[in-house]
């Protein structure tokens, strides 16, 4: 099966969809607000992480489903 071992998900602003980027050495934790450089809104750390996790799970699910379909397609042809 061809399932990726890593999935890169951009952490995006919940208000405008721009990528959230902070200083390289910035450390955020639960309860922090991350200011969007694009729109200036404060994004709740926990909410941003949850959205990124959901996107990652969707991508992984799609990859697994595709791999399963390919595997069974090959098995049924034999």
As for how many domains the chain has, the answer is 1
**pTM of the predicted model over 0.85:** no
Give the tokens for residue 61. 């699910």
Instruction: For residue 35, give the H/E element and its range.
Output: strand 33-35
Does residue 49 form part of some domain? yes
**Could you tell me the residue range of the domain that residue 30 belongs to?**
10-78
pLDDT band at 74 (very low <50, low <70, confident <90, very high): low
pLDDT tens digits, 45-67: 999 999 999 999 999 999 889 88
Say whether pLDDT at 78 is over 60: no
- As a whole number of angstroms, the distance between CA 52 and CA 20 comes to 11
């Amino acid at each position: 099966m061809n399932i990726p071992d890593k999935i890169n998900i951009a952490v995006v602003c919940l208000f405008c969809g721009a990528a959230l980027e902070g200083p390289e050495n910035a450390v955020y934790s639960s309860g922090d607000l991350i200011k969007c450089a694009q729109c200036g809104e404060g994004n709740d750390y926990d909410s941003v992480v949850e959205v990124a996790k959901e996107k990652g799970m969707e991508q992984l699910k799609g990859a697994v489903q595709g791999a399963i379909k390919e595997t069974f397609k090959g098995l049924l042809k034999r």
